[in-house]
C-alpha cells in the first residue's frame, strides 16, 4: 500500500510539474504576442498619422488626387488577453518595455503634428519660387534662386536640387520659362519673359 501511494504521489507530482511548465509557457507566449500586437498597433497609428500629414501637404501643394481621398483604415481592435493570464505570473520587464515604447512614440507623434501645422502655415516652395521670379527683371539660375531663398527664408531648408526640380515643374506647366546660355540654365517667370522676347523684334523693326 505505501508503495502504491508513493507511485501515485510521484505521478501526481510529474503532472503538476508538467501542467505548471505548460502554464508558464502559455503565459509567456500570450505576453510575447500581446507585446507584438501593441507594437504593430503603434506602427499602424504612426503610419496613419503620416498618411494624414502627407494628404495635408499634397492638398497644400495643390496636387490632390483620388488616392488622397482614401480614408486610412481604422486600427483593428484586439481583445486584451490579460484576463486569461494569472496576474502574479505577468513579467514586469515586458510591461515596462511596452510602457517605454508607448512613451517614446508620443513625443514623436507630437513633434510630427507641430511640423505639419508649421508646414501648413508656411507658403509652399512652389509659391515662394514663383513669387521670387515675378520680382526679378533678369533670368536667374537655380543656384542663384537657392541662395536668395536661403537668405530670405532662414528657417526653411532649401536645396538646389529641389529648387531645380520645382523650376522644371513650373516650366512644364508654362508658369516659367527656361533659357540656356552656354552650359548654364536660367529661369524667368512666364509674365516677365514675354516682354523680353518682344524686345529684339522691336529693335529689328527700329533698325
96 in the same domain as 167: no
154 in the same domain as 101: no
104 in the same domain as 143: no
State mean pLDDT over 36-62.
90
Tens digit of each residue's pLDDT (9 = 90 or more) over 176-186? 888 888 888 89
Distance in angstroms between the alpha carbons of the first and the last residue of the chain: 133
Distance between CA atoms of residues 122 and 126, nearest Å: 11
Would you call 163 exposed, middle or buried from its count of C-beta atoms within 10 A (0-12, 13-18, 19+)? buried
142 in the same domain as 90: no
- Is 13 within 8 Å of 5 (Cβ atoms)? no
| Domain range enclosing 103 | 2-116
192 in the same domain as 170: yes
* 51's grid cell: 498618411
- 3-class secondary-structure state, position 157: coil
Half-sphere exposure of 99 (CA within 13 A, CB side): 6
pLDDT at residue 182 in the model: 85
132 in the same domain as 82: no
pLDDT at residue 206 in the model: 43
Q: What are phi and psi of 179, to 5 degrees?
A: -125, 145
104 in the same domain as 78: yes
Bridge partners (DSSP) of residue 176 are: 189
- Percent of the chain residues past pLDDT 70, beyond the cut: 61
Tens digit of each residue's pLDDT (9 = 90 or more) over 91-120? 555 555 555 555 555 555 555 555 555 555
pLDDT band at residue 74 under the 50/70/90 scheme: low
129 in the same domain as 109: no
DSSP letter at 136 equals -
Name the domain boundary from 72, 94, 116.
116
pLDDT band at residue 123 under the 50/70/90 scheme: confident
Is 70 exceeded by the pLDDT of residue 20? yes
Name the domain boundary from 116, 143, 168.
116
Most confidently modeled range among 20-24, 100-104, 191-195: 20-24
- Is 59 within 8 Å of 120 (Cβ atoms)? no
pLDDT band at residue 197 under the 50/70/90 scheme: very low
180 in the same domain as 135: yes
Name the domain boundary from 58, 90, 116.
116
86 in the same domain as 187: no
Domain count, the chain: 2
pLDDT band at residue 1 under the 50/70/90 scheme: very low
Question: Containing H/E element for 179?
Answer: strand 176-181
Distance between CA atoms of residues 42 and 79, nearest Å: 16
Half-sphere exposure of 106 (CA within 13 A, CB side): 5
94 in the same domain as 146: no
pTM of the complete model beyond 0.85:
no
The chain-wide mean pLDDT, for the chain, equals: 74
Instruction: Name the one residue in this structure whose C-alpha cell is 481592435.
Output: 77
146 in the same domain as 59: no
Amino acid at each position: 500500500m505505501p508503495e502504491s501511494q508513493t507511485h501515485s504521489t510521484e505521478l501526481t507530482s510529474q503532472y503538476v510539474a508538467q501542467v505548471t511548465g505548460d502554464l508558464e509557457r502559455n503565459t509567456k507566449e500570450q505576453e510575447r504576442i500581446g507585446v507584438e500586437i501593441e507594437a504593430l498597433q503603434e506602427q499602424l497609428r504612426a503610419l496613419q498619422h503620416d498618411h494624414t500629414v502627407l494628404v495635408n501637404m499634397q492638398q497644400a501643394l495643390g496636387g490632390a488626387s483620388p488616392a488622397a481621398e482614401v480614408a486610412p483604415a481604422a486600427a483593428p481592435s484586439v481583445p486584451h488577453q490579460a484576463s486569461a493570464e494569472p496576474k502574479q505570473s505577468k513579467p514586469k520587464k515586458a510591461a515596462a518595455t511596452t510602457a517605454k515604447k508607448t512613451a517614446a512614440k508620443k513625443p514623436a507623434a507630437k513633434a510630427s503634428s507641430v511640423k505639419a501645422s508649421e508646414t501648413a502655415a508656411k507658403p509652399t516652395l512652389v509659391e515662394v519660387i514663383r513669387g521670387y521670379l515675378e520680382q526679378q527683371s533678369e533670368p536667374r539660375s537655380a543656384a542663384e534662386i537657392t541662395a536668395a531663398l536661403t537668405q530670405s527664408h532662414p528657417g526653411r531648408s532649401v536645396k538646389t536640387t529641389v529648387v531645380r526640380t520645382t523650376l522644371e515643374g513650373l516650366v512644364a506647366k508654362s508658369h516659367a520659362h527656361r533659357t540656356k546660355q552656354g552650359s548654364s540654365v536660367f529661369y524667368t517667370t512666364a509674365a516677365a519673359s514675354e516682354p523680353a522676347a518682344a524686345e529684339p523684334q522691336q529693335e529689328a523693326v527700329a533698325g
